Chain A
Amino acid sequence: MEPISYVKAINDYYQGLGYPPYKWTVNSSAPFTPLTKPLSACRVSMLTSGGISHHTRAPFNPTAKNDLRLDDVDSRSSPSDFEVNDSYYDTRDARKDLNVVFPFARLRELAREGVIGSIAPRLWSGFMGRIYNRSQVLEESAPALGRELQRDGVDLFVLVPA
Protein backbone atom coordinates (compact mmCIF):
# COMPACT_ATOMS: atom_id res chain seq x y z
CA MET A 1 0.00 0.00 0.00
CA GLU A 2 1.20 3.52 -0.83
CA PRO A 3 2.08 5.68 2.19
CA ILE A 4 -0.92 7.61 3.49
CA SER A 5 -0.94 11.35 2.75
CA TYR A 6 -1.36 12.49 6.33
CA VAL A 7 -0.86 16.16 5.49
CA LYS A 8 -3.89 16.04 3.22
CA ALA A 9 -5.93 13.89 5.64
CA ILE A 10 -5.21 16.27 8.54
CA ASN A 11 -5.87 19.39 6.47
CA ASP A 12 -9.16 17.97 5.18
CA TYR A 13 -10.32 16.81 8.60
CA TYR A 14 -9.62 20.01 10.53
CA GLN A 15 -10.72 22.37 7.79
CA GLY A 16 -13.92 20.34 7.63
CA LEU A 17 -14.41 21.21 11.31
CA GLY A 18 -13.95 24.90 10.49
CA TYR A 19 -10.36 25.34 11.71
CA PRO A 20 -8.04 27.60 9.69
CA PRO A 21 -5.34 25.80 7.64
CA TYR A 22 -2.52 24.46 9.82
CA LYS A 23 0.80 26.16 9.16
CA TRP A 24 3.17 23.23 8.65
CA THR A 25 6.87 23.57 9.26
CA VAL A 26 8.68 22.91 5.98
CA ASN A 27 12.48 22.79 6.02
CA SER A 28 14.80 22.42 3.06
CA SER A 29 17.98 21.70 4.98
CA ALA A 30 18.85 19.83 8.16
CA PRO A 31 21.64 19.87 10.74
CA PHE A 32 23.97 16.89 10.88
CA THR A 33 26.30 15.50 13.54
CA PRO A 34 28.23 12.42 12.36
CA LEU A 35 28.39 9.40 14.64
CA THR A 36 31.98 9.01 15.75
CA LYS A 37 31.76 5.67 17.61
CA PRO A 38 30.66 2.16 16.70
CA LEU A 39 27.17 1.22 17.92
CA SER A 40 28.77 -1.17 20.39
CA ALA A 41 30.28 1.85 22.17
CA CYS A 42 27.20 4.11 22.03
CA ARG A 43 24.95 5.03 24.89
CA VAL A 44 21.43 5.22 23.45
CA SER A 45 18.35 7.08 24.66
CA MET A 46 14.89 7.33 23.15
CA LEU A 47 11.88 9.68 23.12
CA THR A 48 8.25 8.77 22.51
CA SER A 49 5.35 11.17 21.99
CA GLY A 50 2.84 8.36 22.51
CA GLY A 51 1.24 9.61 25.74
CA ILE A 52 3.10 7.03 27.85
CA SER A 53 3.31 7.69 31.59
CA HIS A 54 4.61 5.74 34.56
CA HIS A 55 1.78 4.71 36.87
CA THR A 56 3.24 6.80 39.71
CA ARG A 57 2.66 9.97 37.67
CA ALA A 58 -0.40 11.69 36.31
CA PRO A 59 -1.67 10.32 33.01
CA PHE A 60 -1.12 12.38 29.88
CA ASN A 61 -4.17 14.28 28.73
CA PRO A 62 -5.16 12.39 25.57
CA THR A 63 -6.77 15.39 23.91
CA ALA A 64 -4.26 18.03 25.01
CA LYS A 65 -3.09 20.90 22.84
CA ASN A 66 0.23 22.65 23.29
CA ASP A 67 1.19 20.15 26.00
CA LEU A 68 4.98 20.40 26.32
CA ARG A 69 5.13 18.03 29.29
CA LEU A 70 8.23 15.84 29.19
CA ASP A 71 8.71 12.92 31.64
CA ASP A 72 11.96 11.15 32.22
CA VAL A 73 11.53 7.38 32.24
CA ASP A 74 13.83 5.15 34.28
CA SER A 75 15.18 2.76 31.68
CA ARG A 76 15.10 -0.08 34.24
CA SER A 77 11.30 0.17 34.52
CA SER A 78 9.05 -2.70 33.53
CA PRO A 79 6.83 -2.13 30.46
CA SER A 80 3.84 -3.10 32.62
CA ASP A 81 4.45 -0.05 34.86
CA PHE A 82 3.11 2.32 32.23
CA GLU A 83 -0.17 3.50 30.87
CA VAL A 84 -1.03 4.97 27.51
CA ASN A 85 -3.37 7.93 27.02
CA ASP A 86 -3.44 9.47 23.58
CA SER A 87 -6.17 10.28 21.10
CA TYR A 88 -3.98 10.87 18.05
CA TYR A 89 -3.39 7.18 17.33
CA ASP A 90 -5.04 3.83 18.05
CA THR A 91 -3.55 2.93 21.44
CA ARG A 92 -4.91 -0.62 21.66
CA ASP A 93 -1.73 -2.37 20.53
CA ALA A 94 0.50 -0.12 22.67
CA ARG A 95 -1.55 -1.13 25.71
CA LYS A 96 -0.97 -4.80 24.92
CA ASP A 97 2.76 -4.34 24.37
CA LEU A 98 4.44 -0.98 24.87
CA ASN A 99 7.31 -2.08 22.65
CA VAL A 100 5.25 -1.47 19.49
CA VAL A 101 5.68 2.25 20.07
CA PHE A 102 8.43 2.52 22.71
CA PRO A 103 10.67 -0.54 22.37
CA PHE A 104 12.72 -0.23 25.51
CA ALA A 105 12.68 -3.96 26.25
CA ARG A 106 14.33 -4.41 22.84
CA LEU A 107 16.79 -1.62 23.56
CA ARG A 108 17.70 -3.29 26.84
CA GLU A 109 18.29 -6.60 25.06
CA LEU A 110 20.64 -4.88 22.61
CA ALA A 111 22.56 -3.38 25.53
CA ARG A 112 22.75 -6.74 27.33
CA GLU A 113 24.07 -8.42 24.18
CA GLY A 114 26.62 -5.70 23.55
CA VAL A 115 25.10 -4.62 20.22
CA ILE A 116 24.88 -1.12 21.69
CA GLY A 117 27.22 0.11 24.40
CA SER A 118 24.51 0.89 26.95
CA ILE A 119 20.99 2.15 27.45
CA ALA A 120 20.90 5.63 29.00
CA PRO A 121 19.62 5.81 32.57
CA ARG A 122 16.77 8.03 31.40
CA LEU A 123 14.45 7.63 28.42
CA TRP A 124 11.85 10.28 27.62
CA SER A 125 8.12 10.60 27.04
CA GLY A 126 6.48 13.84 26.03
CA PHE A 127 5.79 16.50 23.39
CA MET A 128 2.56 14.60 23.02
CA GLY A 129 -0.08 17.28 22.76
CA ARG A 130 -0.80 18.81 19.39
CA ILE A 131 1.83 21.52 19.57
CA TYR A 132 1.25 24.85 17.91
CA ASN A 133 3.82 26.77 19.92
CA ARG A 134 6.86 25.91 17.85
CA SER A 135 9.09 28.71 19.14
CA GLN A 136 8.80 27.36 22.68
CA VAL A 137 9.88 23.92 21.47
CA LEU A 138 12.79 25.31 19.48
CA GLU A 139 14.01 27.82 22.04
CA GLU A 140 13.23 26.18 25.39
CA SER A 141 11.91 22.62 25.59
CA ALA A 142 14.08 20.89 22.99
CA PRO A 143 17.35 22.58 24.06
CA ALA A 144 16.56 21.68 27.70
CA LEU A 145 16.10 18.05 26.67
CA GLY A 146 19.35 18.17 24.70
CA ARG A 147 21.21 19.34 27.80
CA GLU A 148 19.78 16.46 29.84
CA LEU A 149 20.92 14.03 27.14
CA GLN A 150 24.40 15.53 27.29
CA ARG A 151 24.35 15.15 31.08
CA ASP A 152 23.54 11.43 30.64
CA GLY A 153 26.37 11.00 28.12
CA VAL A 154 23.99 10.03 25.30
CA ASP A 155 25.73 9.27 21.97
CA LEU A 156 22.67 8.43 19.88
CA PHE A 157 19.05 9.52 20.28
CA VAL A 158 16.04 7.72 18.78
CA LEU A 159 12.85 9.78 18.33
CA VAL A 160 9.56 7.99 17.86
CA PRO A 161 6.61 10.26 17.05
CA ALA A 162 3.11 8.86 17.55
Chain B
Amino acid sequence: MGLVARVVEELGIPTVYVSTGRDLGAQVLPPRSVFVNFPMGNPFGRPHDAAMQRRILMDALERVVQARKPGELVDLPYEWGERILTIFELKSGWSAKAPDPLTGKQPT
Protein backbone atom coordinates (compact mmCIF):
# COMPACT_ATOMS: atom_id res chain seq x y z
CA MET B 1 0.00 0.00 0.00
CA GLY B 2 2.95 2.30 0.65
CA LEU B 3 4.10 1.52 -2.87
CA VAL B 4 0.72 2.66 -4.21
CA ALA B 5 1.04 5.94 -2.29
CA ARG B 6 4.44 6.57 -3.86
CA VAL B 7 3.20 5.88 -7.40
CA VAL B 8 0.10 8.08 -7.01
CA GLU B 9 2.24 10.86 -5.57
CA GLU B 10 4.62 10.60 -8.54
CA LEU B 11 1.61 11.06 -10.81
CA GLY B 12 0.99 14.43 -9.16
CA ILE B 13 -1.64 13.69 -6.50
CA PRO B 14 -0.69 14.39 -2.86
CA THR B 15 -1.24 11.36 -0.60
CA VAL B 16 -1.39 10.49 3.07
CA TYR B 17 -0.93 7.00 4.50
CA VAL B 18 -2.72 6.12 7.76
CA SER B 19 -0.57 3.51 9.44
CA THR B 20 -1.19 1.14 12.33
CA GLY B 21 2.06 -0.75 11.68
CA ARG B 22 4.69 1.84 12.42
CA ASP B 23 7.73 -0.11 11.25
CA LEU B 24 5.93 -1.64 8.25
CA GLY B 25 4.98 1.77 6.88
CA ALA B 26 8.26 3.44 7.79
CA GLN B 27 10.43 1.10 5.74
CA VAL B 28 8.39 1.59 2.54
CA LEU B 29 8.49 5.34 3.18
CA PRO B 30 5.24 6.73 1.76
CA PRO B 31 5.40 10.47 0.97
CA ARG B 32 3.44 11.36 4.15
CA SER B 33 2.27 9.15 7.01
CA VAL B 34 0.42 9.42 10.25
CA PHE B 35 0.88 6.60 12.73
CA VAL B 36 -2.01 5.62 14.99
CA ASN B 37 -1.01 3.23 17.78
CA PHE B 38 -4.24 1.24 17.50
CA PRO B 39 -4.79 -2.37 16.40
CA MET B 40 -4.60 -3.21 12.71
CA GLY B 41 -8.16 -2.96 11.51
CA ASN B 42 -8.92 -0.01 13.82
CA PRO B 43 -6.92 2.87 12.28
CA PHE B 44 -9.82 5.26 12.99
CA GLY B 45 -10.68 3.89 16.42
CA ARG B 46 -13.68 2.03 17.78
CA PRO B 47 -17.09 1.28 16.24
CA HIS B 48 -19.61 4.13 16.51
CA ASP B 49 -17.04 6.55 17.99
CA ALA B 50 -17.66 9.10 15.25
CA ALA B 51 -15.76 11.86 17.09
CA MET B 52 -12.50 9.88 17.19
CA GLN B 53 -12.95 8.62 13.62
CA ARG B 54 -13.35 12.17 12.45
CA ARG B 55 -10.42 13.49 14.49
CA ILE B 56 -8.00 10.94 13.01
CA LEU B 57 -9.29 11.53 9.48
CA MET B 58 -8.82 15.29 10.00
CA ASP B 59 -5.30 14.70 11.37
CA ALA B 60 -4.51 12.77 8.18
CA LEU B 61 -5.94 15.48 5.91
CA GLU B 62 -4.18 18.26 7.85
CA ARG B 63 -0.91 16.37 7.50
CA VAL B 64 -1.14 16.89 3.75
CA VAL B 65 -1.59 20.63 4.31
CA GLN B 66 1.30 20.84 6.81
CA ALA B 67 3.90 18.53 5.25
CA ARG B 68 6.88 20.28 3.70
CA LYS B 69 9.29 17.44 3.00
CA PRO B 70 8.95 13.90 1.63
CA GLY B 71 8.79 10.78 3.79
CA GLU B 72 7.73 12.37 7.07
CA LEU B 73 5.88 10.23 9.61
CA VAL B 74 3.92 11.90 12.40
CA ASP B 75 2.90 9.96 15.51
CA LEU B 76 -0.65 10.82 16.53
CA PRO B 77 -1.10 11.15 20.31
CA TYR B 78 -4.03 8.76 20.85
CA GLU B 79 -3.91 5.79 23.23
CA TRP B 80 -5.88 2.61 22.62
CA GLY B 81 -6.21 1.92 26.35
CA GLU B 82 -5.79 -1.86 26.11
CA ARG B 83 -2.93 -4.09 25.13
CA ILE B 84 -2.76 -4.38 21.35
CA LEU B 85 -2.42 -7.88 19.95
CA THR B 86 -0.97 -8.88 16.60
CA ILE B 87 -3.05 -11.09 14.35
CA PHE B 88 -0.80 -14.00 15.37
CA GLU B 89 -1.80 -13.62 19.02
CA LEU B 90 -5.53 -13.47 18.31
CA LYS B 91 -5.87 -17.22 18.48
CA SER B 92 -8.83 -17.28 20.84
CA GLY B 93 -12.11 -15.61 20.02
CA TRP B 94 -11.18 -14.83 16.46
CA SER B 95 -8.86 -16.37 13.96
CA ALA B 96 -8.19 -16.23 10.28
CA LYS B 97 -10.80 -18.44 8.67
CA ALA B 98 -10.85 -19.75 5.14
CA PRO B 99 -13.86 -18.75 3.02
CA ASP B 100 -16.89 -20.98 2.71
CA PRO B 101 -16.41 -22.92 -0.56
CA LEU B 102 -19.99 -22.25 -1.69
CA THR B 103 -20.46 -18.58 -0.83
CA GLY B 104 -16.86 -17.38 -0.83
CA LYS B 105 -17.61 -15.58 2.43
CA GLN B 106 -15.57 -15.79 5.58
CA PRO B 107 -17.36 -17.47 8.50
CA THR B 108 -18.06 -15.04 11.35
Scoring A residues 144 to 162 as 1 if CB is less than 8 Å from chain B, else 0, what string do you get?
0111011000111111111
Q: Are B21 and A100 in contact (CB under 8 A)?
A: no
List of A residues within 8 angstroms of B106 by Cβ: 59, 62, 85-87, 91
The dominant DSSP class at the B interface is: loop
The reply to whether A157 and B3 form a contact with Cβ atoms under 8 Å apart is no
Bound state CA distance, A101 and B38, in angstroms?
Answer: 11
CB-defined interface of A49-91 with B at 8 Å, one 1/0 digit per residue? 1100000001101110000000000000000000101111111
The residues of A that contact B79 with a CB separation of less than 8 Å are: 1
Cβ-defined partner of B98 (8 Å) among A29, A62, A86: A62
Whether B2 pairs with A25 at a CB distance below 8 angstroms is: yes
Cβ 8 A contact of A89, one of B27, B40, B57: B40
> Known interface pairs A3-B35, A99-B53. Does A50 touch B41 (Cβ–Cβ under 8 Å)?
yes
A125 to chain B, nearest CB (A): 12
Query: Of A49, A93, A100, A138, which one neighbours B7 at CB under 8 angstroms?
Result: A138
Contact A157 to B14, CB < 8 A, known contacts A33-B31, A103-B53: yes
B interface, size bucket:
35 or more
B94 close to A30 (CB less than 8 A): no
* B63-87 with Cβ < 8 A to chain A: 64-65, 67, 69-71, 79-80, 83-84, 86-87
B28, closest chain A residue (CB): A25
Is A161 within 8 A of B13, CB to CB?
no
Residues of A within 8 A of B19 (CB): 161
* Cβ-defined contact, A62 with B29, below 8 A: no
CB contacts under 8 Å to B, within A2-26, are 3-7, 9, 13, 24-26
Residue on A nearest B60 in the bound complex, by CB: A158
Task: Given contact pairs A27-B27, A35-B65, enumerate 14 new A-B contacts (beta carbons under 8 Å).
Answer: A1-B83, A7-B24, A32-B69, A63-B98, A90-B87, A95-B108, A106-B44, A110-B58, A155-B14, A156-B13, A156-B14, A159-B16, A160-B17, A161-B19
Binding site for B on A (CB under 8 A): 1, 3-7, 9, 13, 24-35, 38-39, 44, 47, 49-50, 58-59, 61-63, 83, 85-97, 99-101, 103, 105-107, 109-110, 115-116, 127, 134, 137-138, 141-143, 145-147, 149-150, 154-162
